[in-house]
Structure 1
Amino acid sequence: MAASCAQLCLLCRRLLCSTTVANTWRYSTQLRHCATVTGLPTKILNGSPVIWGNHTTAQARQRWKQQVFCSSYFSTTHVATEAKELSRADVATIRDAAPVTESQISLDLDAAAELSALEEISDEEAVSISVPSAMPPASTSLKDYVDQSETISKLVQLGVQLWKLDERPNVGSMLLRLNFSTDVAPRLLFLKHIGVEDSRFGYIISHNPFILTESLENLHARVNYLKSKKFSAETVASMVSRAPYLLNFSVKRLDNRLGFYQQQLGLSASNVRNIAARLPRLLCCSLEPVKENLKVCGIELGFKENEIQHIVATIPKVLTANKRKLTQTFDFLHNTMKVPHHLITKFPQVLNTKYLRIRERHLFLEYLGKAQYNPSQPNYIALDRLASLPDETFCTELALATLEDFYLFQKTL
């Protein structure tokens, strides 16, 4: 019964569509015939008959009524004839038709649904229709894809800074090609598995989005290598969190970097491991600045090999410090403050302190007559305290002055 009803609906729609053109031609022909009988010239504009002539006369009005009557009569006759034809011939055809299978019923119903696309719907149904916004074909910023790309949206939720990624060529197109479930999520689970905190995911991806394209096999191999070199699991997680590019380097390159520092500095494996754990970017950065700073410390600054070893083991940042800043700070300590090499080696953190901070404090102590850095003399001031104490503590404990006096003195420099 359902199949017959569906086929009847489809047949009715086909008949209505196929007879539309014929109906229009018949109506136009009949209308022209009425116009000929009435003797008035007519013109069709947008499907409506327009009568040209003198409409003020009674004869014109009478002829116009006859024309309308003719068109109504022919339209009514046409509808009745089609109804009779449909009720006799088509119903007989449907009755004699072969049984319809379930697949044909499904296809016919789908076709019927497609034909009803112009059917009126309620306001509630119209509001419930959601049209997905099209993804921008091109853009200079990833923020334009947050609403369209699940990957970009989830990365923003993780704390990734899109403006950092926008500054790097081809990174945006790479991220848009990634699927969050199959590409991004497994790498995040890997980072979590090795001990990286969730709050560091955004920082790592913001600085190294290419970790999302590294194979999980390579990532596991590099972590296992670091553990084989006696780096603890907590240390590996901390190193990855602070040096996002660490796991992008192959096992061979990581091994070469560790060997370089051990050979160049003449340190034990334990000391090299300690340096790498405190400053993991030493395994990622270029080796040229490191080689340059080692030469500066030995040749220009005049430190001995054992002194360089102690300085580097205490303050690894000396290896990556700016060469001009390093020489400027040493020159002021050694030539102006008259601090010998062995005292600078004993307190190497002064080499990592801002030059302006050391200069202002020394000049203030010299103004007060308290700039004394020789441990064998009274009123000795240690270099580590000079460099590390906050201003208020420096004034009260070392300079024996007020903070206001120190600020006033700074204005005279």
Structure 2
Amino acid sequence: MFSKLVLRQRRGVNAPCVRLTALIHSDSGNLFTKSGEQRDPFEDLAKTIDTPNDSLKVKDSKKAGSVENILKEDKILNECVEIIHCDSKENENHQKVTTAVGSSLSSTINTRKFNNFFPNSSVTEVLKAVNSDLRSCNAQTFSEINTYLDKVDKLDPDSEEWDVMTSLIAHPDENREIKYDLLPRVSSSVGSYIEYSETLQKLVMLGVDLSAVEEFPFIANFLIRQDFNRDIVPKLLYLKDLGVYDHNIGQVLTTNPYILEDPIDKLQTVVDYLKSKRFTADMIGKMVVRHSMFLIMEVGQIDSKLGMLQKMFHLTGDQVREIFSTHPVLISHNRKKIQDVHFLLHNIWEFEKSQIRAIFLKCPLIFAEDAKKAVQSRLEILHAMGITTQKLSECPAVLMASHHQVRRRHAFLKEIGRAHYDPEKAGYVSLESLGMYSVDKWCWKMNIPKEHYMKFLKTE
């Protein structure tokens, strides 16, 4: 059935659970008989066509009689027979649609039937829209597809009319040997289709977490329609060429399944851009494993982001390559959030620009944090502890720690008289250690009995 039509809001992943016919053909059909059996009433009629002038020659009286009975019983059949007898001028208006999935399928389409639902859109436009992405089609085509879907929704899925209506748009996977008759028509989880999809099964074997993948908009519907050997394998080989090892492929596709949707040429333009900026192949491979979302970005967006950050923190070219190859998440991170953290440090807490630059070089992921909910609360705790901005620029990792954990450990050290964060004083405690290590390891490093620390926490 139509696949991308289900991209409309609040529509699940649809798959037909009854047979699907080709578009209402001018020379063939596949309709239900009144008894409910699935058969082709034109199977005998096709054999009686002897000349290209559409003249019907009935060779067998029994066949002729059976055809006449069918024509009297079924009004839909009468309409289809009239189409067969249409004159040659009307036949010239019929179009051929080829669905390229595994093998090319071509069928003659009755444009008169099709144009009842899509008067302002061509067959090619509609097929391209429903088999790729509804967001990419124009407003007029989108409106007509919506109207068509609304009419389909009002029909009984077990009725003959629903069967005819849904056959107006050919399904792109009809030749991929997927057992559509057994698929659930609507599902909120991609797991319902794993049993019937070889592609999903092999992705699971590669280590892809489908429960995480289905959280990405539209990607579940896309993956169900893919042929693993033809559509997925080339992308896997491309990732290996970039330096992604086999055991990391599942992680990469789980965190960014859109790699499977974008063409390789588009991904390669991003790689070529990074190489032009003197990122090495090893750097690019590590970036893809750590955070591959930058691969689906436009080159202009990446260039603008790198330029903004280089100017904001006064970085050299080598520093840009070193930081972003280690933390590629900053490339795809919201630039306004980065600017908010910079504004908070510089304008609110009065960090000097040199101090902010030092913080970014030592711990750049601080600028990927939420300015109001995370960074602000941590700075308030550290300020109450008497930590200066200069000290924070030297030990910025404490800004990544839980402010509750830092506060509790500082209160305990203060209780036992060891809250000294100046390396020149006796009993010095590293400021960064307040946010590092588990309870057991921290107590061991501080040479503190764990029982004493746990007892203190109960008194808070």
TM over 0.5: yes
Q: Does 1:330 align with 2:357?
A: no
The corresponding residue for 2:439 is: 391
* Match among 341, 363, 366 for residue 315 of structure 1: 363
The corresponding residue for 1:200 is: 248
> Quick one: which amino acid aligns to residue 197 of structure 1?
Y
> Quick one: which amino acid aligns to residue 172 of structure 1?
A
Within a 5 Å distance, the mapping from 1:297-376 to structure 2 comes to: 297-323=345-371, 324-334=373-383, 336-376=384-424
Q: Does 1:404 align with 2:451?
A: yes
Q: Does 1:136 align with 2:151?
A: no
- Secondary structure of the structure 1 residue equivalent to 2:269: helix
> Quick one: which amino acid aligns to residue 386 of structure 2?
K
> Quick one: which amino acid aligns to residue 257 of structure 2?
P
The corresponding residue for 1:227 is: 275
The corresponding residue for 1:125 is: none
CA contact (8 A) 1:262 1:272 kept: yes
CA contact (8 A) 2:290 2:328 kept: yes
The corresponding residue for 2:288 is: 240
- Over 3 Å counting, the alpha-carbon distance change for 1:220 and 1:147 in structure 2 is same
The corresponding residue for 1:281 is: 329
In structure 2, what is the Cα distance between the partners aligned to 1:147 and 1:185? 20
CA contact (8 A) 1:293 1:319 kept: yes
> Quick one: which amino acid aligns to residue 317 of structure 1?
L
Is 254-263 or 132-141 further displaced after alignment?
A: 132-141
In structure 1, what is the Cα distance between the partners aligned to 2:385 and 2:235? 53
User: Higher helix fraction: Structure 1 or Structure 2?
Assistant: 1
- Between structure 1 and structure 2, the one with the greater Rg is 1
In structure 2, what is the Cα distance between the partners aligned to 1:198 and 1:264? 38
In structure 2, what is the Cα distance between the partners aligned to 1:394 and 1:173? 48
Aligned-residue CA RMSD (Å): 2.1
In structure 1, what is the Cα distance between the partners aligned to 2:344 and 2:424? 30
In structure 2, what is the Cα distance between the partners aligned to 1:228 and 1:250? 15
> Quick one: which amino acid aligns to residue 451 of structure 2?
E
Matched positions, count: 282
> Quick one: which amino acid aligns to residue 342 of structure 2?
L
In structure 2, what is the Cα distance between the partners aligned to 1:402 and 1:174? 56
Within a 5 Å distance, the mapping from 1:78-93 to structure 2 comes to: none
Deviation of residue 392 (structure 1)?
Answer: 3.8
Within a 5 Å distance, the mapping from 1:10-89 to structure 2 comes to: none
> Quick one: which amino acid aligns to residue 321 of structure 1?
E
- Over 3 Å counting, the alpha-carbon distance change for 1:182 and 1:344 in structure 2 is same
Deviations 1:33-52 (A, max 9, x none): xxxxxxxxxxxxxxxxxxxx
- Over 3 Å counting, the alpha-carbon distance change for 1:146 and 1:391 in structure 2 is closer
- Over 3 Å counting, the alpha-carbon distance change for 1:235 and 1:361 in structure 2 is same
CA contact (8 A) 2:184 2:192 kept: no
The corresponding residue for 1:75 is: none
In structure 2, what is the Cα distance between the partners aligned to 1:132 and 1:325? 50
Deviation of residue 382 (structure 1)?
Answer: 2.3
> Quick one: which amino acid aligns to residue 186 of structure 2?
S
In structure 2, what is the Cα distance between the partners aligned to 1:172 and 1:393? 43
The corresponding residue for 1:268 is: 316
Note the residue ranges of structure 2 that are not aligned, 5 or more in a row: 1-61, 63-177
Deviation of residue 410 (structure 1)?
Answer: 0.9
CA contact (8 A) 1:278 1:316 kept: no
> Quick one: which amino acid aligns to residue 225 of structure 1?
Y
CA contact (8 A) 1:301 1:327 kept: no
In structure 1, what is the Cα distance between the partners aligned to 2:407 and 2:235? 48
Deviations 1:364-385 (A, max 9, x none): 1111111122333332222123
In structure 1, what is the Cα distance between the partners aligned to 2:242 and 2:367? 28
CA contact (8 A) 2:294 2:331 kept: yes
How high is the TM-score relative to the length of structure 1?
Answer: 0.64
The corresponding residue for 1:217 is: 265
* Match among 278, 289, 294 for residue 342 of structure 2: 294
> Quick one: which amino acid aligns to residue 193 of structure 2?
Y
CA contact (8 A) 1:135 1:145 kept: no
Deviation of residue 389 (structure 1)?
Answer: 4.5
How high is the TM-score relative to the length of structure 2?
Answer: 0.58
CA contact (8 A) 1:134 1:148 kept: no
Note the residue ranges of structure 1 that are not aligned, 5 or more in a row: 1-17, 19-130
The corresponding residue for 2:215 is: 167
Deviation of residue 166 (structure 1)?
Answer: 2.9
Within a 5 Å distance, the mapping from 1:245-256 to structure 2 comes to: 245-256=293-304
Deviation of residue 321 (structure 1)?
Answer: 1.0
In structure 2, what is the Cα distance between the partners aligned to 1:142 and 1:393? 42
Is 368-377 or 272-281 further displaced after alignment?
A: 368-377
Deviation of residue 222 (structure 1)?
Answer: 1.5
CA contact (8 A) 1:364 1:409 kept: yes
In structure 1, what is the Cα distance between the partners aligned to 2:199 and 2:209? 14
CA contact (8 A) 1:147 1:153 kept: yes
